[in-house]
Amino acid sequence: MNDERLFKDTIYEQLARIGKAVSSPKRLELIDILSQSSRPVETLASLADLSVANVSQHLKALKSARLVESEKVGVQVFYRLASPSVAAFIRELRLLGEERLAEIDQLVREYRTDTTRFDPVDRDELLRRVRRGEAVVLDVRPEEEYRHAHVAGALSVPLRELEARIKDLPADREIVAYCRGAYCLMAVDAVEKLRARNFRAFRLDLGVTDWQALGFALESGSATP
């Protein structure tokens, strides 16, 4: 075997480590969850509907491929993405799947049969409305995800708190809700609750990784009171 052949074989063998690590649907889901914020193993297990032992094995495989990192905080082990490029990779994989796999579009359409009336607002239109003071942007994800990164100027109103805090929202402006991205339905649920109270509500069909990839500003830090 000549040196060039050996070089190429070795390079592609290393790249295949990443392909192997993300060949599991649950590992893709775990990366997607971690793109929102770092999480302890127990929380990841709950969100991915896995046992702690099972999720630990998946995380071990992802860590072996250097896609995630871990840190012990007290008695808990927290996992995070090893680099923002991992989140970008998963986003590009999702977009490729949506472009090339008709099954994905069909699944989304079937699952959202009852929610298609909540049309997503166009991001350019959102910017125009916000700049004109006509819209309030709500981040309805859990607060720890908001603290990690959120759309600049968005208010943190986690979905579980929306009913209690709905009276504090301005009734004279449009409300635009967003959550984790295209496959997340928290924003749809939020829009449903808001419209039931006669708010003019819409959803932004993008997550923070999409927003960042499009060149728009993100912020981090504590939730707005």
d(CA 161, CA 159): 5
Sort 208 into a burial class: Cβ within 10 Å, 0-12 / 13-18 / 19+.
buried
Question: How does strand 150-151 pair with strand 218-219?
Answer: antiparallel
Catalytic residue among 90, 176, 179, 208: 179
Residue type, position 37, single letter: S
Catalytic site residue 179? yes
Residues annotated catalytic, as ranges: 179
